[in-house]
């Protein structure tokens, strides 16, 4: 073994963290809004008047279809607790993005025109806000600057800093055209698009600190592996035949529902 030395390193030390598993129902989410820059219409009916505007259902809409659902961005802010300065309120805003299609009675997409371009799906979004309280320690009021950051003159904001990791999935999407929001606008229909979203989140508060650690020296990377050509047929021919996918498990199959067995609630993408 190499010689052990004590070394000072700059580290991002996590002072507190929490995780949450939220099932976001329609009343917890902002009404679905357009992410199209221009006005979108179906015939003479305005579906959305521009980016950020609420989306109205086109006349004749029976159902909706959503694809490419993802988290567009997460906005964060944190404020020190006045009564307990070691703790901070972390405010988060999740913005979700997806492609939205309106389906008629035959299940076909209704064509929407945005800025003169006909589309079968428009860019849309919704948002969710939440607040958590985490320990961040009561640090001193100092300025941090380094030429590691660009531009060099930039001074980092006061610590602690927020790190958010999140995974979302669309659980359900329905329309509600009978919510009393109709108007005397000919055949125009104004209704809610009701989404249900599953959200897994890990939230951390961290600070830039100096740590004294025990070290065995620098890491020495190993040589890179050579990339050899691969015969895909050779790999395929040597795979075991997947009998399971041709034989769906029965209700009494021992692989499912056994007492004391672990079962994942969701499949990860």
CB 162 within 8 A of CB 135: no
Cβ atoms within 10 A of the Cβ of 26, count? Answer: 19
CB 9 within 8 A of CB 205: no
Tell me what the pLDDT averaged over the chain comes to. 83
Q: State residue 99's pLDDT score.
A: 97
Q: State residue 180's pLDDT score.
A: 41
Cα–Cα separations (whole angstroms), residue 56 to 13, 31, 68, 194: 47, 10, 20, 12
> Over 70: is that where the pLDDT of 226 sits?
no
Q: Which of 153-162, 163-172, 212-221 has the lowest mean pLDDT?
A: 153-162
Which residues lie below 8 Å from residue 166, measured CB to CB, with a gap of 6+? 71, 74, 94, 199, 200, 201, 202
Of the CA atoms within 13 Å of residue 133, those in its CB half-sphere come to: 8
Q: What is the pLDDT of residues 75-96, one digit of tens each?
A: 999 999 988 989 999 999 999 9
Q: What is the pLDDT of residues 142-159, one digit of tens each?
A: 777 777 666 555 666 677
> Where residue 249 falls among pLDDT bands split at 50, 70, 90?
confident
Backbone φ and ψ of 233, nearest 5°: -70, -35
> Over 80: is that where the pLDDT of 25 sits?
yes
Cis, peptide link before residue 79, omega less than 30° from 0: no
CB 64 within 8 A of CB 100: yes
Q: Determine what percent of the chain is predicted with pLDDT higher than 90.
A: 55
Q: What is the pLDDT of residues 230-243, one digit of tens each?
A: 677 787 788 887 87
Q: State residue 155's pLDDT score.
A: 65
CB 160 within 8 A of CB 15: yes
Mean pLDDT, range 162-190, rounded to an integer: 71
Of 253 and 94, more confident? 94
Q: What is the pLDDT of residues 105-120, one digit of tens each?
A: 999 999 999 989 999 9
> Where residue 98 falls among pLDDT bands split at 50, 70, 90?
very high
Q: State residue 245's pLDDT score.
A: 75
CA-CA distance, 10 to 207, in Å (whole number)? Answer: 10
Of 6 and 73, more confident? 73
Burial letters 64-97, b for 16+ CB under 10 A, else e? bebeebebeebeeebeeeeeeeebbebebebbbe
Strands 161-176, 192-215: pairing is antiparallel
C-alpha angle 80-81-87 in degrees, rounded to nearest 5: 80
CB 166 within 8 A of CB 198: no
């Amino acid at each position: 073994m190499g010689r052990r030395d004590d070394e000072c390193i700059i580290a991002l030390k996590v002072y507190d963290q929490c995780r949450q598993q939220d099932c976001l129902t329609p009343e917890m989410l902002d009404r679905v809004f357009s992410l199209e820059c221009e006005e979108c219409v179906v015939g003479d009916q305005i579906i959305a008047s521009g980016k950020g505007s609420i989306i109205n259902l086109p006349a004749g809409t029976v159902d909706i279809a959503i694809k490419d659902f993802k988290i567009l961005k997460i906005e964060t802010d944190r404020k020190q607790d006045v009564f307990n300065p070691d703790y901070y309120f972390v405010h988060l805003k999740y913005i979700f993005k997806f492609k939205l299609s309106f389906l008629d009675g035959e299940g076909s997409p209704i064509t929407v025109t945005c800025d003169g371009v006909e589309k079968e799906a428009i860019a849309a979004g919704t948002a969710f806000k939440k607040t958590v309280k985490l320990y961040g320690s009561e640090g001193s009021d100092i300025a941090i600057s380094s030429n590691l950051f660009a531009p060099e003159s930039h001074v980092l904001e006061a610590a602690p800093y927020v790190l958010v990791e999140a995974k979302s999935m669309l659980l359900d999407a329905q329309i509600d055209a009978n919510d009393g929001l109709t108007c005397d606008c000919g055949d125009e229909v104004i209704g809610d698009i009701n989404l249900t979203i599953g959200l897994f989140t890990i939230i951390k508060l961290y600070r830039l600190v100096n740590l004294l650690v025990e070290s065995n020296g620098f890491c020495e990377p190993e040589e890179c592996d050579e990339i050899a050509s691969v015969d895909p047929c050779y790999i395929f021919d040597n795979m075991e035949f997947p009998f399971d996918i041709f034989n769906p498990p029965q209700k009494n199959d021992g692989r499912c529902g056994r007492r004391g067995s672990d079962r994942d609630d969701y499949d990860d993408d």
